[in-house]
Structure 1
Amino acid sequence: MPTNVEDFQAMLAAWADQIVTWAQSPVFLAQLAAVIAAVILAPLLAGFIKKRVPLFRATPAEDAKYLKLRQIIFKVGGFLRAILLVVLLAIFASILKSVPSLGQDWLVKLAQSLAVVFLVYRAIKVFITDPLYSKLAIWTLIPLALIFVLGYFNLLTDFLDRTVLLPMGDSPITAMTVAKLGIFGSLFFWLGNLSNSKGQSAIRSQESLDVGVREIVAKLFQIVLFGVIFFLVMGAAGIPLSGLVVVFSALGLGIGFGLQPIAANFISGLIILFDRSVKVGDFVVLPDGQQGFVEAINMRSTTVETADGKDIMVPNTKFTEEAYENWTHKDPSQRYEVEFTVSYDTDLDSLEGILIPEIMKYPKLLTEPELPDLEFRSFGDSGINMAIEFWCDGVDDGANKFTSDIGFIIWRTLKANKIEIPFPQRVV
């Protein structure tokens, strides 16, 4: 035990001597002054810039031009102090290295490393809201930032370049290739999703084009965009196009064994878009009886929104392999009917003259291709079964909305003319 105490005391004494040495060293004192100056100047400069730049002060309005860019600038203002601290420390480190009598910047570099960790952490928390992606970014970007600041980035890249994962002639797949693939893939596909969203919105807003044509152009734009992005990522990662033969061979094998449904749905989606058997806005009745409006035709599935607001994700193959009803394929006009029963005492010859004029007042009624008419259906147990057939433009809530309105008109008209709607009865 005494030996351990003596060793500890000796270590403390060594540290004390080192601190005294640093305190007497102009080189150390200059670095310490640089760090203190950066810590003091960063908040002062940040406050000065925020006062002079309105974009950092107020949250951008929803109708502002370049809203996304303004929102990013406003969020950057939240950690502007950390950005300036890193920049100031980098400037002071360069100044110290350029002065022959000083020539050291290790303390400033250490402070800069801590500032970079804080800056990257704040940026991740502000811009990446998903918990999984946030953790992934923290455990990858912060170490990379530290390696870069400390000057070991070239050593890391050399090590990754020498680590061969898959020999491919003159252009093997290395750890650096995989790293570039991950970095550039994430960046390009993020930009691709943003461009795809903006591009498809712009295409679908072209009122001069038919809805079906807009949908086809939007999907072609999506395919071409991501195809270009794919080749850009391959080029940025350093993977030669000849090496893609291996990738496509593996992909073809995967499709043959396990991805047939996905490939079939993808091809079916293209068929639907080009033959236009189903279009966005059509009202369809599916084989299982579910019905609704087509909201979107995607690469794998078609979204059908029901009358109660629920979305049904229907595989595209359902529309190419099975029978279904499309109420608005050629013409949005639909024929509906409302059945009702009147008593056997009713004068049927006058019934049409009573009902049809009232139904003709319905504002959504069509007179083409046929006028509304009254039809005799059958002799029922309790009365005579009749029906009104009529045409309306489009589909509201399936058949429910129009038939409900006409049903009310029939009810009021029969009651006003004292025509009995019989209850079930039997003569024994």
Structure 2
Amino acid sequence: MFGIDLSGQPEIVVQVAGYIEAGWELAASWLLSPAAWSQFGLLVVAYFAALMVTRKLRPLLVRVLDPGDSTHLLATPRRFVMGFLPLLLPLMAYVFTGIGESIVRSLFDSGAVIAFGKRVFLFLAVRALVRDIITDSFLKLIGKYVFLPIAGLYALGMLDVAQTQLSAMTVQLGNISFSVMALVRGLIAGALLFWLGRWSNEQSTNFISKQEEMRPSIRQLAVKSVEFIIFGVAFLLLMNIMGINLSALAVLGGAIGVGLGFGLQKIASNFISGVILLVEGQATVGDYVELDGGEAGTIVRMTARAAILETFDGRWIVVPNEDFITTRVVNYSDSGSANRYEAPFSVSYDTDINIVPDIINAAVAAHPDVLNEPYPADCELVGFGDSGIDFTVEFWVNGIDDGQHKYKSQVLFIVWNALKDNGIQIPYPHRVVEFKGAVPKIET
């Protein structure tokens, strides 16, 4: 090259020098060729024509596509299409350059310069797509490090060479063999499928969550089912794109099955129990439950493996789904049904106990959260204690007596005040000591 002897240099240096020499010869031929100059002129004309058309067409498209503050059904698609307006100039230049290329090839039987310019305009379109249109951080990362390099190789006319070199390189993993090109194609497709699956899952989750006529448990099951289907289909598509025969994964699938059978029994059991819970709807998000083991709280989240309970003091308890199936569970919420509670108290033996129930029932019934249905407040005599007469008042509320709603405490305050207002004494422990024989003398 240029009279320089490269015979003693490494092979890669010789190859790079060969590419540089070929590029130099191509550039020299373009500089000295009238056809090349005519093609370059057509490139300039195509760009200015695209610029003029874009200036005229863009305001018209904005008026047609801009929905303003409208919430009409077509407003979102119109905003989406309007976001692609930055591609108008490079794509119009690409179209006009393509027309110029067909003219040049018919006249000179050559169009290398204008073809190169057309590829450059396509590269500029991809650059505008990544820089100005894509807003998702994950897609922007893919565009910056995948789409732009591919578009750059295409613009330089080296994309086919790169594909050939990558296709010739193979990777062997056991009995599975694939080329580096398949791996690159799989990484690109996998990234796009992952993003598309995540986006589809978010859209389907939002749609299902708005279906208020469905039970919460059925909505939860539908969300999980759609999620498994979306990512299952994405996995199968990725295997097909990479050219991996799924039958080659049979051994791996068998090993996973054996692992599920022996080492992952609990996980499988909890997963199946979770599906049963979602189908039956006996416990769902928002219910206040108490398990046989003493765990109690509001279900704030249900996963494939466990349910998460939040106690009244803010702690989270992770309870395996299997415990909801194999043990006794008390569901205090059960779709918002009323619950009965009791508040015990005592009065002095000097009290006329016949007036106590009416006083307490009227006072407790005045509480705004105490219900008259299914039963009103009911004060009952329960026994004669050592220090006083024992009563209890039963009352119904449409909620849970937990850290947020301390109904029992509030009712006891009401009982105390009602007894005080009516002059009824609340006893405290008394002890009577009897001495048999002479009373012992106390020496002073």
Same fold (TM over 0.5): yes
Match of 1:157 among 149, 163, 169: 163
| Aligned residue identity for 2:156 | L
CA change 1:193–1:135 in 2 (3 A) is: closer
Structure 2 distance, partners of 1:331, 1:27, is 83
Q: Is residue 60–residue 70 contact of structure 1 (8 Å, CA) maintained in 2?
A: no
Q: Which has the larger radius of gyration?
A: 2
Question: 2:224: which partner in 1?
Answer: 219
Instruction: Map 1:290-301 onto structure 2 (within 5 A).
Output: 291-292=297-298, 294-301=299-306
Q: Is residue 377–residue 386 contact of structure 1 (8 Å, CA) maintained in 2?
A: yes
Secondary structure of 2:73's counterpart equals coil
**How many pairs are equivalent?**
405
Question: 1:118: which partner in 2?
Answer: 127
Structure 2 distance, partners of 1:19, 1:392, is 88
CA change 1:98–1:302 in 2 (3 A) is: farther
1:57-92 deviation line (CA, Å, top 9, x unaligned): 747648342565344324323554455455555554
Question: 2:360: which partner in 1?
Answer: 355
Secondary structure of 2:134's counterpart equals helix
1:143 matched to 2:154? The reply is no
Question: Deviation of residue 352 (structure 1)?
Answer: 1.8
CA change 1:269–1:378 in 2 (3 A) is: same
| Aligned residue identity for 2:358 | G
1:140-183 deviation line (CA, Å, top 9, x unaligned): 221112223334333333333333323788x8433333333333
Instruction: Map 1:240-259 onto structure 2 (within 5 A).
Output: 240-249=245-254, 251-252=256-257
Structure 2 distance, partners of 1:139, 1:34, is 32
Question: Deviation of residue 110 (structure 1)?
Answer: 6.9
Match of 1:196 among 201, 204, 218: 201
Question: Deviation of residue 244 (structure 1)?
Answer: 2.8
| Aligned residue identity for 1:160 | L
Structure 2 distance, partners of 1:309, 1:71, is 43
What is the TM-score with the length of structure 2 in the denominator?
Answer: 0.69
Secondary structure of 1:127's counterpart equals coil
CA change 1:315–1:278 in 2 (3 A) is: same
What is the TM-score with the length of structure 1 in the denominator?
Answer: 0.71
CA change 1:45–1:149 in 2 (3 A) is: same
Question: 2:182: which partner in 1?
Answer: 177
Question: Deviation of residue 40 (structure 1)?
Answer: 3.7
Q: Is residue 87–residue 125 contact of structure 2 (8 Å, CA) maintained in 1?
A: no
Q: Is residue 305–residue 320 contact of structure 2 (8 Å, CA) maintained in 1?
A: yes
Secondary structure of 2:151's counterpart equals helix
Tell me whether 319-328 or 214-223 shows the greater mean CA deviation: 319-328
| Aligned residue identity for 1:72 | F
Tell me whether 28-37 or 259-268 shows the greater mean CA deviation: 259-268
CA change 1:391–1:111 in 2 (3 A) is: same
1:359-383 deviation line (CA, Å, top 9, x unaligned): 3344543455554333568999998
| Unaligned stretches of 5+ residues in structure 1 | 1-17
Question: 1:73: which partner in 2?
Answer: 81
Q: Is residue 27–residue 104 contact of structure 1 (8 Å, CA) maintained in 2?
A: no
CA change 1:115–1:211 in 2 (3 A) is: closer
Structure 1 distance, partners of 2:86, 2:314, is 39
Structure 2 distance, partners of 1:20, 1:320, is 81
| Unaligned stretches of 5+ residues in structure 2 | 1-25, 433-444
1:52 matched to 2:57? The reply is no
CA change 1:402–1:93 in 2 (3 A) is: farther
Secondary structure of 2:192's counterpart equals helix
1:226-266 deviation line (CA, Å, top 9, x unaligned): 33333333333332231231442464577689877765654
CA change 1:404–1:42 in 2 (3 A) is: farther
Question: 1:10: which partner in 2?
Answer: none
Q: Is residue 90–residue 121 contact of structure 2 (8 Å, CA) maintained in 1?
A: no
CA change 1:240–1:321 in 2 (3 A) is: same
Question: Deviation of residue 353 (structure 1)?
Answer: 0.8
Question: Deviation of residue 356 (structure 1)?
Answer: 0.6
Question: 1:9: which partner in 2?
Answer: none
Query: Could you say what the CA RMSD is over the residues aligned between the two structures, in angstroms?
Result: 4.7
Structure 2 distance, partners of 1:301, 1:258, is 18
Q: Is residue 123–residue 155 contact of structure 2 (8 Å, CA) maintained in 1?
A: no
Tell me whether 144-153 or 371-380 shows the greater mean CA deviation: 371-380
Identity %: 31
